[in-house]
Chain A
């Protein structure tokens, strides 16, 4: 495995290219016609245009991506996150084309991608789950199950992840419109409009466990990330460790994550997501079979490069990280900088970045592909940069985050920086006491 095709764009494409370069691997970038001048295109060793701006014509175009790999002689494909990262058909198409898929097996993607199957697997691995249903849902089934488990309920995309295609209904009438809207979003985001339903746990914390599996039943965890700071189920800030998490709960959750990964012979990096309810009990919600946006938080506290581990595992190298080697140190926080206007309901704000200055200094990491003069296109995700700060403890990380956020200058578009600065002034955040509804309750957004 010497040449890797990176089937993604923007900051994550750049992140993967960087890992490849450090391992001495060659890279092929792909891009849509809207991304011809993007940084990932310029930084990669080679680049291939795979189609028109709309994602379905380019970054979701399996035929064009496989063709790009063939034409450039790439031996492996890294899907990043989003787009086709959790698409088993793409993983299979890669394998059938003789390409190494940098990720878990198509079978594991299928198992975890079908949220009903995932629930059953979790249950049989001794991992607690949230009450709800299984499988593809008709409106009639949704209404019946909602009566059984009790409102409010969440309608989610079976093919989902990343918080897309999720709606909450408080009553049958709302459920009817939710099913239609969630199906539309799911179809647009994942090309599959199937839905399932779960009881909504009120005011939960969202805590997830990073895992690495060797594909042969060996799996370790790299501790947890607190991801409760969300707006409409889109994560905005993540931190590790999770503040004020009972040590026994933490240990039980982390080992449950590794146990589930081992149970499905999981290969590569993955994330097991849990919600923690008000009484401190945790429940499995889903497993994300990809590298995640917030993976740098774990990298900062463990010192382990997760993307390099993915590449090593894909190359069939022996699994060289032992559970005891994972010794987190200090505190890390990630701030997602989206091209959105927090003062206008987080309205998308694409356009030209006319001036750009980035922060630096101790404990500061920035993952971004933007530059002065870059046009943030309207076609893709609004994430334009991630600021990750590390400190010896939470207080130092927070002070560093405040300092680094205030060093940014991004002219021409709106970003979520003012939102993050408000969060860092919020007493409940500073006390580490927040849940997935805190952003709305505190009117932070």
Chain B
């Protein structure tokens, strides 16, 4: 089973939900298509979407909400 990752495009604070009371953008085990938003990165008071570039199934998140991420850091592992 090939593994792919989704990377954060920017450094900042990672969020799995659009707002604190909403469901996460995606859950583990969920299938995603290219362009699907899987999280947000908060940087300098603005929010930037983290999107899947490939299709696949969300195997696991490598970071939690409110974790600090670096630009290019893997945040999600996808499997085919």
Contact = CB atoms under 8 A, between A and B. Distances in A.
Interface of A: 53-54, 164, 180, 183-185, 187-189, 193, 339-340, 347-348, 350, 378-382
A161 to B, nearest CB: 13
Given A348-B10, A379-B13, A188 B42 contact: yes
B72 to A, nearest CB: 13
Contact of B47 (A180, A188, A382): A188
Closest 3 pairs between A and B when the two form their complex, measured CB to CB: A382-B44, A348-B44, A184-B19
A53 B42 CA distance: 13
Given A54-B13, A54-B66, A184-B47, 7 more contacts: A183-B19, A184-B19, A187-B19, A339-B44, A348-B12, A378-B10, A381-B45
Contacts of A381: 44-45
Interface in B21-80: 42-47, 66, 68
B44 A380 contact: yes
Contacts of B19: 180, 183-184, 187, 193
Contacts of A348: 10, 12, 43-44, 46
Interface residues of B, number: 15
A189 B42 CA distance: 11
Contact of A378 (B18, B20, B43): B43
A348 B44 CA distance: 7
Contact of B18 (A184, A189, A339, A379): A184
Nearest to B13: A54
13 contacts: A180-B18, A187-B19, A347-B10, A348-B12, A348-B44, A350-B11, A378-B11, A378-B13, A378-B43, A378-B44, A379-B44, A380-B44, A381-B44
A185 B13 contact: no
B29 to A, nearest CB: 25
Contacts of A193: 19
